[in-house]
């Protein structure tokens, strides 16, 4: 049935591809995206676009933004600990984090620790749901998180500090200088916390968390030079993170700690022609993770070096149609102490996309195909087809379908003991369809977006016990499907602005076929995948005062593959109060936050208690260069 729907829409719309030619160049820039030029089909996907990272969120990391304002499920042990993401029932490896058109998932485990990414370095974060795999070449079976650059194009100095419960202290400094064809910036971020928060144990007795402190230092520096039709950009992103690893409720006291040292460098050279551009991009990652648990005699040293080179070519045809070709090579290696020899993957992908605008019929199409290969694997041609249709002035319809693919990670293949060189890649088919309705009535703008999705993944890679150690295996076929909605109300007049957003998700992610397993998991919901998720945000601004309330409902999640054990559902509330004071061309913002407003006792991971009610207060200053 899914193939019939796909081909029916394709055949219906293909006749409308090329009828329009207009003698104007206004449409030549439609493919220029500040967030990500690489994700050419983002207009066709369900998304939480451009979640604004306001000053009162300056001490937070990206996982806190995603957890509070999206329907994604973030799995973590507590503040500052490893935070991984699940999108539409996929695992952490199936969602890519994109910055400057580069995937920055760690090649060793294929994941991103979102608690290590300071939000203050970026001006927005966008979540793209669905089929971005063909553009990303490998891995993004479920979707992508895209970080947006700070590009204010003016000179300023901004600084802020936040003090909070659990001896939390965070500070940041941003310096941006712009003159003519040059823009350069330096961003510094520091955060420390003892994280000795109170929680209720299994006997409902209040205790304090131990061995959970955090020290996080980060630096980002960027320089952009524009010389006519040629742009050059280089960015450095470095981090040093020291954190203790607390024990679970039923475990003996822990002395484990983890050190992360990350250096990432991005560069690009772009030359524009009258209706095309060529871009050369390179990235270098030097990431090091050291884990020490002396009580259990565990000493892990996990360094990884990655080189990525890309060639992009994009051309506008007939003022509406865009052809894009991307060639990417990624070389990653590690000499960690859990590999018998140097572990290395060298993968090359070629991706072609053709985007078509048809203004007469209000239609847009994108057809993308990709091929990925390395020393051992060569993927079949993956593809995606995306359609967007505008009806009248209020309704948009979008549809996506395609084939997806994900190769094993370095740890999957080479970890000792347990790595499995006989793994085959995950592959499958995915589709989604949605409607966007917008309507303005007087001074109020209403928006509603329901969407349905379905994804079938075969050869799902899962680590499971095999005697005295764990090993990854292709153990199952998974069917993810669900319904999502997004509702928005925006009202503004001379003094008052009001915004209300409600997002809901219902997800079924079940094992429809299980290979070589006796754990009674067939036709059962995947662990740590909630059926229900609801997020709403209510914000009202009067003059320079802003009141914001965030609410997050997470349904129960199963913690065993036979669905016999589960964590109960929970509700979380957050309250923000802020006031901005202006001094000519400069400003200051004072804010106060209450987290876990209802003092909810809850767990995101089994036997890992979370903080009860806690508070934060901060102040930020911004000095603009007066011209």
- 538-560 residue pLDDT tens: 999 999 999 999 999 999 999 99
Summarised one tens digit per residue, pLDDT across range 110-126 is 999 999 999 999 988 88
The phi and psi torsions of 224 (rounded to 5 degrees) equal -125, 130
Please, are residues 212 and 225 in contact by the beta-carbon 8 Å criterion? no
What is the C-alpha separation between 379 and 407, in angstroms, rounded?
9
* Domain locations along the chain: 2-624
Residues β-bridged to residue 276 = 315
Q: How far apart are CA 372 and CA 369, in angstroms?
A: 10
* Percent over 90 (pLDDT), the chain: 64
Predicted confidence at residue 32, as pLDDT, reads 29
Give residue 22's pLDDT.
32
Tens of pLDDT, residue by residue over 202-248, are: 888 899 999 999 999 999 999 999 998 999 999 999 999 999 999 99
Q: Is the pLDDT of residue 40 over 50?
A: no
- CATH number of this structure's domain 2-624, picked from the four choices 2.60.40.1260, 2.40.170.20, 3.40.50.720, 3.40.50.150: 2.40.170.20
Please compute the mean of the pLDDT values over residues 82-94 and round it to a whole number: 93
When pLDDT is averaged across residues 486-508 and rounded to a whole number, the result is 93
Q: Band the pLDDT of 128: cuts 50, 70, 90.
A: confident
End-to-end CA distance of the chain: 62
Distance between CA 363 and CA 531 in Å, rounded? 34
- Is residue 333 pLDDT above 90, yes or no? yes
Q: What is the C-alpha separation between 123 and 126, in angstroms, rounded?
A: 10
**Listed residue (42, 82, 81, 48) closest to 65, CA to CA:** 48
pLDDT in tens, 257-313: 999 999 999 999 999 998 899 999 999 999 999 999 998 888 999 999 999 999 999
Is pLDDT at 38 greater than 60 in this prediction? Answer: no
**What SS3 state is found at 335?**
coil
The pLDDT value recorded for residue 132 is 54
Per DSSP, the three-state class of 611 is coil
pLDDT at position 134 over 60: no
């Amino acid at each position: 049935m899914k193939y019939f729907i796909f081909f029916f829409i394709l055949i219906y719309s293909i006749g409308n591809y090329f009828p329009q030619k207009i003698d104007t160049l206004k449409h030549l820039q439609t493919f220029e995206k500040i967030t990500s030029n690489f994700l050419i089909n983002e207009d066709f996907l369900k998304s939480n676009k451009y979640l604004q990272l306001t000053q009162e969120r300056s001490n937070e990391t990206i996982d806190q933004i995603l957890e509070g304002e999206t329907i994604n499920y973030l799995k973590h042990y507590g503040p500052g600990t490893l935070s991984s993401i699940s999108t539409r029932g996929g695992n952490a490896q199936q969602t890519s984090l994109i910055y400057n058109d580069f995937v920055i998932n760690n090649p060793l485990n294929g994941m991103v620790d979102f608690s290590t990414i300071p939000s203050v370095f970026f001006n927005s974060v966008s979540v793209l749901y669905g089929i971005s795999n063909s553009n990303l070449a490998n891995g993004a079976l479920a979707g992508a998180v895209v970080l947006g650059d700070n590009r204010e194009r003016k000179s300023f100095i901004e600084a802020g500090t936040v003090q909070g419960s659990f001896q939390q202290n965070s500070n940041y400094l941003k310096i941006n200088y712009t003159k003519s064809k040059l823009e350069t910036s330096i961003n510094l971020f520091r955060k420390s916390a003892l994280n000795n928060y109170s929680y209720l144990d299994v006997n409902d007795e209040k205790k304090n968390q131990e061995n959970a402190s955090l020290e996080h230092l980060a630096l980002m520096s960027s320089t952009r030079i524009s010389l006519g039709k040629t742009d050059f950009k280089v960015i450095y992103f470095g981090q040093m993170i020291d954190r203790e690893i607390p024990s679970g409720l039923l475990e003996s006291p822990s002395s484990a700690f983890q050190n992360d040292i990350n250096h990432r460098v991005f560069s690009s050279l772009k030359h524009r022609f009258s209706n095309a551009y060529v871009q050369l991009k390179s990235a270098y990652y030097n990431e090091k993770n050291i884990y020490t648990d002396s009580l259990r005699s565990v000493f892990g040293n996990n360094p990884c070096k990655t080189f990525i080179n890309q060639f992009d070519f994009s051309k506008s045809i007939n003022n509406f149609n865009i052809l894009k070709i991307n060639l990417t090579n990624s070389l990653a290696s590690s000499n960690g102490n859990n590999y018998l020899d140097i572990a290395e993957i060298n993968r090359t992908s070629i991706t072609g996309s053709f985007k078509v605008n048809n203004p007469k019929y209000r239609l847009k199409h994108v057809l993308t195909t990709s091929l990925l290969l390395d020393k051992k694997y060569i993927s079949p041609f993956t593809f995606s087809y995306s359609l967007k249709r505008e009806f009248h002035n209020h309704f948009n319809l979008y549809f996506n379908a395609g084939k997806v693919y994900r190769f094993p990670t370095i740890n999957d293949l080479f970890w000792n003991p347990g790595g499995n060189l006989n793994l085959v890649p995950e592959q499958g088919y995915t589709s989604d369809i949605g409607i966007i309705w917008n309507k303005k009535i007087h001074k109020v703008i209403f928006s509603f977006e329901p969407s349905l999705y379905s994804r079938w993944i075969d050869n799902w890679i899962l680590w499971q016990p095999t005697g005295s150690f764990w090993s990854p295996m292709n153990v199952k076929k998974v069917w993810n499907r669900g319904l999502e909605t997004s509702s928005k109300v925006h009202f503004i007049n001379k003094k008052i602005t009001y915004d209300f957003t409600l997002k809901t998700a219902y997800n079924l992610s079940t094992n429809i076929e299980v290979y070589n397993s006796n754990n009674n998991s067939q036709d059962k919901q995947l662990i740590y995948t909630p059926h229900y998720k609801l997020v709403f945000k209510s914000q009202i601004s009067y003059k320079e005062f802003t009141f914001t309330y965030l609410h997050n409902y997470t349904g129960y999640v199963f913690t065993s593959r036979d669905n016999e054990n589960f964590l109960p559902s929970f509700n979380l509330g957050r309250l923000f109060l802020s006031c901005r004071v202006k001094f000519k061309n400069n400003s200051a913002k004072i804010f106060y936050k209450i987290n876990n407003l209802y003092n909810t006792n809850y767990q995101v991971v089994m036997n890992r208690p979370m903080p009860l009610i806690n508070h934060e207060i901060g102040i930020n200053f911004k000095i603009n260069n007066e011209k």
